Amino acid sequence: MSGKNRRDKTVLFRVSPEEYDLMQQKAELSGIVSLSAYIRKMAIDGYVIKLELPELREMISLLRRSSNNLNQVARRVNSTSRIYAEDMEDMLRQQQELWQCANAILQKLAAIA
C-alpha cells in the first residue's frame, strides 16, 4: 500500500486468553493466516464464511449424469416415438437423489445463519 492507503492507524483492544485462543482458532478455520487480517476482515465485513460443501460437488455430478440421461432418452423418443418405463424410473430416481442433495445443502446453509 502506498500514499493515502497506507495502514498507519492503530486499533487496540484487550481480550482474555480464552477469547484470544478462540479468535486464533476461528482465523485458522477461515483460512486466514494473519490474526490481524482476520480481525480486520471481521470488523469491516462483519463475517467470514468459508463453505466446504462436498454435497454441492455431488449434486453437480448428479446434474451432469441426469442431463446426459435425459438427452439420451430424448434422442430415443425422437427416433422411435416411444419412452420406456425403465427410462422414466431412472429419471425419477435421479431426481430424488438431486432433491436429497439439495436438502442436505440447504440444511448446512441454514446451520450457518
* Integer angstrom CA distances of residue 57 from 63, 71, 98, 101, 104: 10, 21, 11, 10, 12
Q: Which of 32, 103, 3, 34 is nearest to 62 (CA)?
A: 103
- Spans of all domains in the chain: 3-45, 54-112
Model's pTM, two decimal places? 0.51
Q: What 8-state DSSP symbol labels residue 8?
A: -
pLDDT 10s digits, 55-70: 888 889 989 999 998 9
Q: Alpha-carbon distance 30 to 70, whole Å?
A: 39
CATH 1.10.1220 for domain 3-45 = yes
Which letter does DSSP use for residue 11 in this model? -
Give 35-98 as a DSSP string. HHHHHHHHHHHS-------HHHHHHHHHHHHHHHHHHHHHHHHHHHS---HHHHHHHHHHHHHH
Q: What is the pLDDT averaged over residues 6-22?
A: 92
Q: pLDDT of 17-36, one tens digit each?
A: 999 999 999 999 888 889 99
